[in-house]
Amino acid sequence: MRATPNVSLLARLCVAVALLAVPLQSAAAETRSATAIVTGFYDTLLATMKNGPALKFSGRVEALTPALDSAFDLASMTRIAAGAQWLGIKPEDQLQLIDSFSRFSVASYAANFDSWSGERFEVVKETPAPGSGNGIIVETRLIPKTGDSVQLNYLLRPGSGGLRVIDVFVNGTISELAARRSEFGSVLARDGAKGLREMLDSRVKDLASK
């Protein structure tokens, strides 16, 4: 004889499954694709460029800081740029370096993208990063009003803060972090974490005065 199902138990299970489905759906809705992350950053960058002269340097920094914090994994980028010497840096000095590198990164965008002359950004496609199990490359182009375009490729990887940019390749091949690692490594070897932090802070001041 077939057992009669426990209707009360089935009802409770259905409710439990329904409740579990709500946060899962919300989490999926909040997950952004690599293309959406880069596109969102470009939207803010372009708007800032168009208002660049009126905003001035401080205003551009204020506008771009949350955009970079959202799109870029600046903590991981600091660690990668520091190279193998990162493990020998005290935790409190690591945090200070992340802060200095983050402010330097924002200042670089604020100084170098300070106005608009008809440029536009085009997101071409996203592909799996070569030799990486979970990396994604988003290929883009900076297209000026006249002249040749510049290829800018973004490498994104998932981390504790979700999928975010960890490197930028100019002309598709020149790694920004590889260049930083060479420079930062020599400063760390010579002057330690304090020296690197002072160098980054000095560059922020120089960028602000451009």
Does 8 fall in a domain? Answer: no
Distance (Å, whole) CA 11 – CA 192 = 64
- Here the tokens at position 3 are 């057992």
What ranges make up the beta strands (E) of the chain? Answer: 120-128, 136-143, 150-159, 162-170, 174-175
Local confidence band at 131 (pLDDT 50, 70, 90 cut-offs): confident
Does 97 fall in a domain? Answer: yes
Q: What is the pLDDT at residue 20?
A: 32
Q: Which domain holds residue 183?
A: 34-208
Does 202 fall in a domain? Answer: yes
Distance (Å, whole) CA 193 – CA 188 = 6
pTM more than 0.85 = no
pLDDT digits (tens, 9 = 90+) for 12-45: 323 333 333 333 333 333 468 999 999 999 999 9
Q: Counting every residue, how long is the chain? A: 210
Does 81 fall in a domain? Answer: yes
pLDDT digits (tens, 9 = 90+) for 88-116: 999 999 999 999 999 999 999 999 999 99
We report the CATH number of the domain holding residue 167 as: 3.10.450.710
- Here the tokens at position 30 are 């909040």
Better-predicted residue by pLDDT, 161 or 29: 161
Q: What is the pLDDT at residue 132?
A: 59
Count of structural domains, the chain: 1
Does 29 fall in a domain? Answer: no
Q: What is the pLDDT at residue 15?
A: 30
Distance (Å, whole) CA 207 – CA 61 = 11
